[in-house]
Amino acid sequence: MAETLNPFEIVQKQLKIACDKLGVEESVYEVLKEPEKVLTVSIPIRMDDGSIKTFIGYRSQHSTVLGPAKGGVRFHPDVTMDEVKALSAWMTFKCAVVGIPYGGGKGGVRCNPKELSKSELERLSRGYFRAISPIIGPEKDIPAPDVYTNAQVMAWFMDEFSQLKGYNTPGVVTGKPIVLGGSLGRNEATARGATFTIREAAKKIGLDLTKATVAIQGFGNAGSVAARLLYELGCKIVAVNDSQGGVYNPDGLDPEAVNEYKKKNKTVKGFPGSKEISGAKLLELDVDILVPAALENVITSNNAANIKAKIVGEAANGPTTPEADEILYKKGVLVIPDILCNAGGVTVSYFEWVQNLMNFYWTEEEVNNRLEQVMVKAFNEVFYIHKQYNVNMREAAYMLAIKRITEALKLRGWI
């Protein structure tokens, strides 16, 4: 059987499975299988050498039945419309799983930010935001950082939109620098939310975290912070990697030391006192907890049978293919699906937007406590459906999301 690797087809497949298991009307699938709106823009930018180069950008708004669209913008050479559509659909379900009043959005620009100077990146960021400005705004669609975009890019987005409006509009994006209306706790939110769900999952299967071993695939923002937080809970981090290479130490790595090393050397590769390990081998290590925290489709039907972890916490979006899901479920691996596991990021983005609209800001402790409440409640609701319907955790998460979305669609008279 051919593996489903087109991310948009994967989403449609997951959606169909959940609709069928829930027994909802065919019209729910019909409404949700395509995004409400997808905008393609071309962005001509003057490069530093004086030449003009045109970049292609997208913004997809999948569903706004529960609230304005919400979702990141990625700058990456492999951005495609299908990927952006898929990620916007995942955002719809992610927001519905944790019960925050947003629909799903996603954006992307096809470019290699590593080849752009800072001023070229700024012109591209502003050009993209200006181009999509007719369909965004605090009440319509609120972008955020994603792959290769950060707080500085959000600052340019927010400034460009504010210039167009003629007044400060901090609520148009989240993930901003603190001084421009960012939220405390946002930087660590994805990893912290993932850690809360891993902690709850460990309770459910009787795993003592102080004796647990962890491998983390991807040592960017989510992966490095998750490593530190799990280490603080008593876990032994035995392997981490990034796009350049991986490091393994069966006696455990100190995530802070690895992070310092990566800051200096731009990679974890070659960290003193560790052995080199390939990305493929890292995924198949005999550990209790595996955290895929990088890109899509890393756990497939080719390697799923070799995964030895008891818990897979998907800090990344779409790391597991539907075919791999089945294999892991049959093996008894508890997979915490992306739309639950990494929803901490969008939850604190929601908190940031709320603070912007109120013009009243919370302490980091308040943010983290509220995040914990949201994540623990969502985990328990998904776990309950997983047991009640005897389905895997991903199907359970989709079923919870689709239940909420279906109710809203009916009440609004959309179906």
Q: Residue 150 — φ and ψ, nearest 5°?
A: -145, -170
| Torsions phi, psi for 179 (to 5 deg) | -65, -20
Q: Which residue in the list 16, 21, 106, 264 is annotated as catalytic?
A: 106
- The verdict on whether 106 is a catalytic residue reads yes
Percent pLDDT > 70 in the chain is 99
Binding-site residues for NAD(+): 190, 221
Q: For the chain, give the mean pLDDT.
A: 95
CA-CA distance, 227 to 132, in Å (whole number)? 36
Query: What would the two tokens of residue 349 be?
Result: 């983005």
pLDDT in tens, 355-400: 999 999 999 999 999 999 999 999 999 999 999 999 999 999 999 9
Q: Which pLDDT band holds residue 322 (cuts at 50, 70, 90)?
A: confident
213 contacts 310 by C-beta, under 8 angstroms:
no
Please, are residues 78 and 85 in contact by the beta-carbon 8 Å criterion?
no
The answer on pLDDT for 234 being more than 60 is yes
Binding site residue list: 70, 94, 190, 221, 349
As given in the structure block, the two tokens for residue 306 are 């070799």
* Closest to 345 measured CA to CA, from 70, 76, 74: 70
Distance CA 68, CA 175 (A): 17
Whether the model pTM is above 0.75: yes
Tokens of 314: 């998907």
Across the strands, what pairs with 275? 248
Average pLDDT for residues 323-336, to the nearest whole number? 94
Residues in the chain: 415
pLDDT bracket for residue 295 (50, 70, 90): confident
- The model's confidence at residue 33, banded by pLDDT at 50, 70 and 90, is very high
Q: How confident is the model at residue 2 (pLDDT cuts 50, 70, 90)?
A: low
Binding residues for substrate: 70, 94, 349
Lowest mean pLDDT among 12-16, 177-181, 345-349, 378-382: 12-16
The alpha carbon dihedral of 57, 155, 371, 99 has a sign of negative
Question: CA 59 to CA 128: how far, in whole Å?
Answer: 10
pLDDT > 90 in the chain, percent: 92
Rounded to whole angstroms, how far apart are CA atoms 352 and 86?
A: 25
**Tens-place pLDDT, residues 91-146:** 999 999 999 999 999 999 999 999 999 999 999 999 999 999 999 999 999 999 98
Which position has the token pair 């809970």? 233
Q: What are the backbone angles phi and psi of residue 389, rounded to the nearest 5°?
A: -100, -5
Joined together, the tokens standing for residue 131 give 């181009």
Segment 224-238 shows an average pLDDT of: 97
Rounded Cα distance, 253 and 228, in Å:
10
Residue type, 189: A
Enumerate domains of the chain plus CATH numbers: 37-172 (3.40.50.10860), 188-340 (3.40.50.720)
Strand ranges, E, within 254-339: 275-277, 289-292, 311-313, 334-336
Q: What is the mean pLDDT of residues 70-86?
A: 96
Residue 43 and residue 117 in contact, taking contact as beta carbons nearer than 8 Å: no
Distances from the Cα of 367 to the Cα of 188, 193, 351, 390, angstroms: 11, 11, 7, 34
Structure-model confidence comparison of residues 161 and 243, the more confident one: 161
Q: What are 286's strand-pairing partners? A: none
| pLDDT tier at 1, thresholds 50, 70, 90 | low
Q: Which is more confident, 61 or 2?
A: 61
> In 3-state terms, what secondary structure has residue 355?
helix
